[in-house]
Amino acid sequence: MVLFMPRRIVLAIALALTTTGACSETLDFKQCVGIALTQNPDLAMAQAQVKQAEAGLRQAQANYWPKLNLSVTATQSNDALNAFGLKLGQRGATFGDFGFRDFDSTNPNILSVAPRDLNHPDAVTNFNPRAELLIPVYNGGMVADYVKQAQSYVKAAQAGDRLARQQLVKQVLMAYQGVHTARAYVQVAGEARAAAEEFVRISTQLFKQGMAVKSDLLSAEVNLADMKLKSVSAGNAEAAALDQLHLLLGKPLAEPLDVGAPVMPVTLEGDVASLRQAALANHQGLQALRNQADGAAAAVAAARAGKLPQFNVMLRQDWNGKTLGLDSSSYTAAGVLSWTAFDGGGSRAAVDRAEAQRLEAVAKLDQASNGIAYKVGDAKRRAQEAEEKVKARTLAVAEASEAQRLVKKRYENGLGTLIELLAAQAQLDKARADLVAADYDQAVQRAALKLAVGVLDADQL
């Protein structure tokens, strides 16, 4: 045994340990979920959809308000009609603009004379600042229906965001527990390797004593090589699980990361019927589809409103002048009642199309409701199976461990064969690996049942 090491080696090891501890970040499950909820790309897309729906709602609500348009038009024209109109707008028309200079009372054909100033005016320059206010008064309820549709889409997007969050919680749980499961496999592989090394030691000792043949020693060494390979595979699985967690958290793969204590969701109590009822009320995917169906119904109402009369008011203030300014003020007030009496069946087709889209949304909702009901039943059965599997695997490990102990003792005393010992050890290794898999499956199936019912929450896992 080496009792002392050179000082530089001790310092190097200490520095390495200190550096590793400083760089590696250990996160518990809730911390992992919190980071994923802020950095995961899939969730960012769901949140972007919520923002789009909220902007659509504000856009629909804006139609309740009057619209104020401001404009400035600069015009120069020698067109007879336009030039005369521009002068009138500037309050600058004179009798001369009518061509009175060409009037001759002694001419018997005076009515046939074409006034030059009226027909061939000089170019007129005009600046026309304008403020126009459009006030919606009645539109058959179309705006209200569009607002209802937008509100439904906002609720649908919000429900979709909550569903994405629940799905992300499950994904983080699987990756987080996947790291612990991989490490449990590493431990199982380590125990199997240690047992294989012990078998080589025993076989070597018995071979030297003439109590075992050379083939037993060779078989033990082959078994040890196999266990070393499984240890390497288990280590690779742990690295892969950590990489998967990195991706879910939106962290660079090169960033050191470690996980805290294992997590196990609590069992969701209740029979299949009660859980299905809870799912119909709580599942965010169904909530999103319900809101989409409500939005489709509002779209039908909006399409029908397009067939009704509409009344709007327009208030306009104009200024006209040869230069830009607020000269020659004038106003216009108008009320416009419009009604599309005939459009070749376009309005009826719009209603039919909206109604068909509503029926499609309702059909999707019905289909999804049946699908959720099936998923709840299937998830409940899988969760119960996982519970029983853990119990069975735990018992199997205890029994296989005792069987291996007895066979090992027989082999050490020369009463058993190496084949029997290797078989007993293989059975124990398999039982341990099965228990690790059962523990992971139990956590996943419990979370899957909660997700199917729509109550998966990292804070109340």
| pLDDT tens-place string over residues 419-432 | 787 788 888 888 88
3-state SS, the chain, equals CCCCCCHHHHHHHHHHHHHHHHHCEEECHHHHHHHHHHHCHHHHHHHHHHHHHHHHHHHHHHHHCCEEEEEEEEEEECCHHHHHHHHHHCCCCCHHHHCHHHCCCCCCCHHHCCCHHHHCCCCEEEEEEEEEEEEEEECCCHHHHHHHHHHHHHHHHHHHHHHHHHHHHHHHHHHHHHHHHHHHHHHHHHHHHHHHHHHHHHHHHHHHCCCCCHHHHHHHHHHHHHHHHHHHHHHHHHHHHHHHHHHHHCCCCCCCEEECCCCCCCCCCCCHHHHHHHHHHHCHHHHHHHHHHHHHHHHHHHHHHCCCCEEEEEEEEEECECCCCCCCEEEEEEEEEECCCCCCCHHHHHHHHHHHHHHHHHHHHHHHHHHHHHHHHHHHHHHHHHHHHHHHHHHHHHHHHHHHHHHHHHHHCCCCCHHHHHHHHHHHHHHHHHHHHHHHHHHHHHHHHHHHHCCCCHHHC
**What percentage of the chain has pLDDT greater than the value 70?**
94
Question: Alpha carbon of 175 to those of 37, 244, 255, 258, 379: distances in Å?
Answer: 15, 6, 16, 12, 19
Tell me the two tokens of residue 247. 């991706």
**Higher pLDDT among residues 234 and 140, named by residue:** 140
The pLDDT of residue 133 is: 97
The pLDDT of residue 320 is: 95
The pLDDT of residue 23 is: 54
What's the rounded mean pLDDT across residues 203-211? Answer: 77
Band the pLDDT of 416: cuts 50, 70, 90. Answer: confident
Tell me the two tokens of residue 132. 């126009």
Closest CA to 455 of 279, 247, 297, 320: 279
pLDDT digits (tens, 9 = 90+) for 254-294: 889 999 999 999 999 999 999 999 999 999 999 999 999 99
- Distance CA(392)–CA(88), nearest Å, equals 100
- Distance CA(56)–CA(272), nearest Å, equals 39
pTM of the model: 0.76
Find tokens 């470690």 and name the residue.
258
The pLDDT of residue 222 is: 85
**Per-residue pLDDT for 11 more than 80?**
no
Q: Spell out the domains of the chain, with CATH numbers in brackets.
A: 27-64+141-460 (1.20.1600.10), 75-138 (no CATH)
Instruction: Please state whether beta strands 124-138 and 67-77 pair in parallel, antiparallel, or not at all (unpaired).
Output: antiparallel
The answer to whether residues 292 and 153 touch, using CB atoms and an 8 Å cutoff, is: yes
pLDDT digits (tens, 9 = 90+) for 61-94: 999 999 999 999 999 999 999 999 999 999 988 8
Instruction: Please state whether beta strands 25-27 and 257-259 pair in parallel, antiparallel, or not at all (unpaired).
Output: parallel
Band the pLDDT of 15: cuts 50, 70, 90. Answer: very low
pLDDT digits (tens, 9 = 90+) for 114-123: 788 788 898 9
What's the rounded mean pLDDT across residues 155-179? Answer: 92
Mean pLDDT of the chain: 87
The pLDDT of residue 388 is: 95
Tell me the two tokens of residue 300. 């039908």
The pLDDT of residue 19 is: 42
Backbone angles phi, psi at 107, to 5 degrees: -80, 115
**Per-residue pLDDT for 50 more than 80?**
yes
The pLDDT of residue 24 is: 64
Closest CA to 440 of 240, 264, 248, 189: 264
Residue 5: how many CA atoms within 13 Å on its side-chain side?
A: 8
The pLDDT of residue 8 is: 43
pLDDT digits (tens, 9 = 90+) for 346-364: 999 999 999 999 999 999 9
**Per-residue pLDDT for 207 more than 90?**
no
What's the rounded mean pLDDT across residues 293-308? Answer: 94
Band the pLDDT of 195: cuts 50, 70, 90. Answer: confident
Closest CA to 257 of 269, 271, 243, 276: 243
The pLDDT of residue 311 is: 95
Range of lowest pLDDT (137-151, 226-240, 447-461): 226-240
- Distance CA(58)–CA(306), nearest Å, equals 21
